[in-house]
Amino acid sequence: MKTNPLNFDVIIIGGGLAGLSSAIHLSKSKLDVLVIEKNSYPKHKVCGEYISNEVLPYFEFLGIDVFKLGAKKINRFELSTPKNKVVKANLPLGGFGISRFCLDFELSKKATDNQAIISQDTVEDIQFLNDRFSVKTKLTTYTSTIVIGAYGKRANLDVKINRNFIKNKSPFLAVKTHLIGNFPEDLVALHNFDGGYCGLSKVENNSINVCYITDIEAFKKHRDIEDFQQKVVFKNSALKAVFKNSKSVFKTPLTISQISFETKNPIENHIIMCGDTAGMIHPLCGNGMSIAIRSAQIASLLIIQFFNGEIKDRQALEKQYLREWNTEFKSRLKTGHIVANLFSKNRIAEVLISITKLIPSILPQIIKRTHGKIMTVK
């Protein structure tokens, strides 16, 4: 029994993929874990909802079978340009499509099954003093030895702890919806349009997840989402065909703005950052969910070693996490920046597509550079 219900070994701020995966992993090792999440489950999120198969062994370790949940197996990739040039490839590892509505909910249930506590609350401040954290929320104040930041792309907490990237405005807006219509279950498609790109793949319940990102200034020139889609997005004939021959599941699309792809520090004020909170790969590369899950595994394994005495102190823990984060993700994020920058220039994108048609092996190699290897479970 816990002697102090407000004191924990680990507090995780954010109950998305990274936060919940860490909560399950750490609680399996009998650590006292608190997840603080502002939203209730289940909830839709703006997300590409495609995950590389590299995470499957780790999900098995966590006790999650995505295919029993209805996930769609995906092994083909298709890319088109604003001028409707198309290139296709087989995915080197393959992947699957599943909604965050479904997956986050199942992860949350597994976390509570393993005795982690999930509190629907909002963190207002974090202080680190005398080798302990004090986490103030709207409802109360908790203490812990370790804090994991897994609260997503951008939050008020980033301002509070004075993170560098938050000082710069980001020009990107993302829109996500689910459609019912004809779309291959084994395909993830990425269709470019002037000023942005849109990802499509099937998820459970036969829904097509549609998520696109665009420049917010370009978007503001139009009346609303419908007007923007009609005049810009649908110039890509593949996107027009999907939308015109489908029915919307959502009453209104979900949107988020101020999406930052700038470099972030994986350690801030002794907080271990995971997932998008530590660094975000361009959605163009379609692998952000896998990175979130892998970062959770890295953090969890090191934190367990810290509590077991295998890592001698906090400084050693932070150095090792930073080292492993950079080894695993730095090259992937850099490649993502380069690829996104090239495809943001329409003329260059058209040339690149022509080259990949002539040399088909190029596209799988680019995909490999933005994806990891099959995760091992220790």
pLDDT digits (tens, 9 = 90+) for 185-198: 999 999 989 888 89
pLDDT digits (tens, 9 = 90+) for 147-156: 999 998 888 8
- Where residue 1 falls among pLDDT bands split at 50, 70, 90? low
- Where residue 55 falls among pLDDT bands split at 50, 70, 90? very high
162 vs 245: which has the higher pLDDT: 245
- Give the per-residue pLDDT at 360: 73
Report the range of poorest mean pLDDT among 114-128, 164-178, 299-313: 164-178
Give the count of beta carbons closer than 10 Å to the beta carbon of residue 75: 15
Which percentage of the chain shows pLDDT scores above 90?
70
Give the DSSP letter string of 312-329: -SHHHHHHHHHHHHIIII
- Give the per-residue pLDDT at 262: 78
Q: What does pLDDT average to over the chain?
A: 91
- Give the per-residue pLDDT at 284: 60
Asked if pLDDT for residue 145 goes beyond 70, the answer is yes
- Give the per-residue pLDDT at 332: 83
Q: Please give the Cα distance from 69 to 265 (Å, whole number).
A: 34
Asked if pLDDT for residue 344 goes beyond 90, the answer is no
DSSP 206: G
- Give the per-residue pLDDT at 236: 94
List of residues 6+ apart from 137 with CB closer than 8 A: 36, 119, 121, 122, 123, 124
Query: Is 236:193 a contact under the CB 8 Å cutoff?
Result: yes
pLDDT digits (tens, 9 = 90+) for 229-266: 999 999 999 999 999 999 999 999 999 988 877 789 99
pLDDT digits (tens, 9 = 90+) for 199-215: 999 999 999 999 999 98
Asked if pLDDT for residue 343 goes beyond 70, the answer is no
Asked if pLDDT for residue 161 goes beyond 60, the answer is yes
pLDDT digits (tens, 9 = 90+) for 212-229: 999 888 899 999 999 999
Query: Is 106:68 a contact under the CB 8 Å cutoff?
Result: no
In degrees to the nearest 10, what's the CA dihedral of 297, 301, 307, 313? -100
